[in-house]
Structure 1
Amino acid sequence: MRPIRRVVIALGSNLGESLASLQGAVDAIADTPDVWVTGVSPVYETEPVDSPPEAQNYLNAVLLADTTLAANRLMDRALAVEDAYDRERSDVHNAPRTLDVDLIVVGDRRSDTDALRLPHPRAHERAFVLKPWYDLEPDAELPGHGPIAELLAKTGVEGLTLREDLTLDVE
């Protein structure tokens, strides 16, 4: 039997019905066998980072889960969820998207392949990942980078707006 690992997954959307896409991702991940969602952060509206000039603001959230799935199987599931929401991939760096599902941490698993990079290589500098994660686990650490509270203090929260009018539910 595989060990249970803590998973941190970042969600984002800035095309179409963004809140519905984020909720659909939460539901799909919660419906995944051997994955147990334990928390979902508040929703933040975020200014695009390193995106094309026409990019709209994102809605972002983080979910926490426990899983016995292998990291590569969890990555396959994340990609399938994106595909279900018509995620289009392009050569444009940080292009707008209907849904982005990023694995940030899968236990203490490390990977540096084209298919899977863990921990996520840019999570330590992204307030739209760090702040929602901090809301759920203020004492958490990003392996190889340190406490998320310290990382968040470095990045700041400029460009992030808490959307108290928007919520995601775990069924």
Structure 2
Amino acid sequence: MNAAAHVLAYIGLGANLGDARASVEAALQRLNSLPQTRLDAASSLYATAPVDADGDDYVNAVARIDTALPAQELLRHLLDIEQDLGRERPGYNAPRTLDLDLLLYGEERIDEPGLIVPHPRMTQRAFVLVPLLQLDPLITIPGAGPAQGFMPDVAAQAIRLLKP
């Protein structure tokens, strides 16, 4: 890979069906095996109640990857991982075996069919902000500002660190 072409991207992971923890852990391993990509860091795992949905608590995490893949190609790989690990899409906000979201792709702002980066609801979700800030307490969300500034808005959302 050409070092100049590398981008740090952040991936949100979540699952609440089946063995949710195992699904998230398997997805983290798969991220490290993507072409032209290296898993740089992964947050702790967190348990969170579903937002705007029913079902069991989610297991959530955020991964930071170093990748040379273009954003749309990276998204295709994320969707493939979801599919390979049994993802079904019965409806919006439905319980799921695995959900992988491209949260940030370097400093880029992307608005294309099927891909909006930064993820449009990431500043409204403790299950994204808490693990994201664990990886980088000073991270800034392009076009929105420091991620830490959104924490008061999500303070009422329950999130619990899971033991390793």
Same fold (TM over 0.5): yes
In 2, Cα distance between equivalents of 1:16 and 1:114: 31
**2:61 aligned partner, one-letter code:** A
Matched-pair identity in %: 37
Gap runs ≥5 in structure 1: 167-171
In the alignment, is residue 20 of structure 1 matched against residue 49 of structure 2? no
Gap runs ≥5 in structure 2: none
Q: CA deviation at 1:114?
A: 2.6
In 1, Cα distance between equivalents of 2:142 and 2:155: 20
Higher relative contact order (CA 8 A, sep 6+): 1
Q: CA deviation at 1:56?
A: 0.6
In 2, Cα distance between equivalents of 1:48 and 1:139: 27
Q: CA deviation at 1:159?
A: 1.1
Structure 1 runs (4+) greater than 4 angstroms displaced: none
3-state SS, counterpart of residue 128 of structure 1:
helix
In 2, Cα distance between equivalents of 1:145 and 1:125: 12
> How many pairs align?
162
Q: CA deviation at 1:109?
A: 2.2
In 2, Cα distance between equivalents of 1:154 and 1:15: 27
In 1, Cα distance between equivalents of 2:157 and 2:39: 29
Q: CA deviation at 1:157?
A: 5.5
**Superposition RMSD on alpha carbons, in Å?**
1.2
Structure-2-length-normalised TM-score: 0.94
Where does residue 68 of structure 2 map in the other structure?
68
Q: Is the 8 A contact 1:131 1:157 kept in 2?
A: no
